[in-house]
Amino acid sequence: MQKIKVLVVDDHTIVRDGICALLALAADIEVVDEAGNGKEALDKVRQLSPDVVLMDIAMPIMNGLEATRKIGKEFPKTKVLVLTQYAEKEYLFPIIEAGAQGFISKAAASSELASGIRAVHQGHSFLSPVAAKAFIEDYQLGAPMRGREDSYQQLTDREREILKLLVEGYTTKEIADMLVLSPKTVEGHKTNFMAKLDVRNKTDLIKYAIRKGIITV
């Protein structure tokens, strides 16, 4: 059995030790190394090509958001699962915008941590219950996306297919390879369906997909 290679990133040694001890209980997961800040994490990704980076946010030298952006740009096959104590939506949405495939609270059970790693490794998005609650509250307190259900009917089959893959966490290049299209064509479809749905960024697109039932949390 090929194990999922995980890089654990947190600026507190005791936290990293605890995470590594928990993950050691999962037969299909292997912690290949640790890092204490975003810059170190980026260097370790270059050296080790882990499948999943378990990323803290508040760290010195380079924070987790910046590191996540750089990893997504340079190493699109490496998935980032953010593990943080900050559960408020003010932190959650920037995390998703930065390119993370999932969010999990440090208060989560060990089984949830392993599940999140497996999910993002398989190309899916993963939101812990705390993160899902933040999305729901943001929707309920904000302007409901009225009429967008009807807008979905305007999408072509190809646009719906790309939308689903995008909100599941796949990159433009991965989608292009799967559907035998050019990245430029995928981006064109993305621009079209975001205009039809009147969404401006990936955060709003994910919220729409959750509400529409395209993905579940």
- 97: domain CATH number is 3.40.50.2300
> Do 10 and 26 reside in the same domain of the chain?
yes
Which tops the pLDDT comparison, 200 or 30?
Answer: 30
Beta-strand ranges (E) seen in 45-153 are 52-55, 79-84, 102-105, 126-127
**What stretches of 64-109 show up as alpha helix (H) in DSSP?**
64-74, 89-97
pLDDT, tens only, 32-90: 999 999 999 999 999 999 999 999 988 889 888 889 999 998 998 999 999 877 655 55
* Structural domain boundaries, residue 161: 145-212
Is pLDDT at 216 greater than 70 in this prediction? no
Is pLDDT at 5 greater than 70 in this prediction? yes
CA distance 118 to 204: 25
> Do 131 and 153 reside in the same domain of the chain?
no
Position 158 in a domain: yes
pLDDT number for residue 217 = 52
> What are 11-14's contacts with CB under 8 Å, separation 24+?
11/36, 11/37, 11/56, 11/58, 11/59, 11/60
pLDDT number for residue 128 = 77
> Do 171 and 127 reside in the same domain of the chain?
no
Q: The tokens 């299209």 sit on which residue?
A: 181
Position 217 in a domain: no
| Apex 129 CA angle, 125 and 132, nearest 5 | 60
> Do 110 and 9 reside in the same domain of the chain?
yes
Structure tokens at 198: 């009147």
> Do 91 and 150 reside in the same domain of the chain?
no
> Do 149 and 126 reside in the same domain of the chain?
no
Position 80 in a domain: yes
Position 160 in a domain: yes
> Do 92 and 26 reside in the same domain of the chain?
yes
pLDDT, tens only, 186-197: 999 999 998 888
pLDDT, tens only, 85-143: 765 555 677 777 788 988 887 776 677 889 999 999 998 888 877 667 766 666 555 54
> Do 119 and 151 reside in the same domain of the chain?
no
> What are 172-181's contacts with CB under 8 Å, separation 24+?
173/76, 174/76, 174/77, 174/123
pLDDT number for residue 130 = 66
Q: What is the DSSP string of 157-176?
A: HHHHHHHHHHHTT--HHHHH
> Do 19 and 41 reside in the same domain of the chain?
yes
User: Which residue, of 116, 139, 162, is where some domain finishes?
Assistant: 139
> Do 34 and 75 reside in the same domain of the chain?
yes
Is pLDDT at 200 greater than 90 in this prediction? no
Q: How many domains does the chain have?
A: 2
> Do 130 and 178 reside in the same domain of the chain?
no
Which tops the pLDDT comparison, 202 or 141?
Answer: 202
User: Which residue, of 86, 109, 139, is where some domain finishes?
Assistant: 139
Question: Which residue in 172, 161, 157, 163 sits closest to 195, CA to CA?
Answer: 163
pLDDT number for residue 141 = 55
> Do 27 and 131 reside in the same domain of the chain?
yes
User: Which residue, of 123, 139, 155, is where some domain finishes?
Assistant: 139
Is pLDDT at 15 greater than 70 in this prediction? yes
CA distance 11 to 34: 10
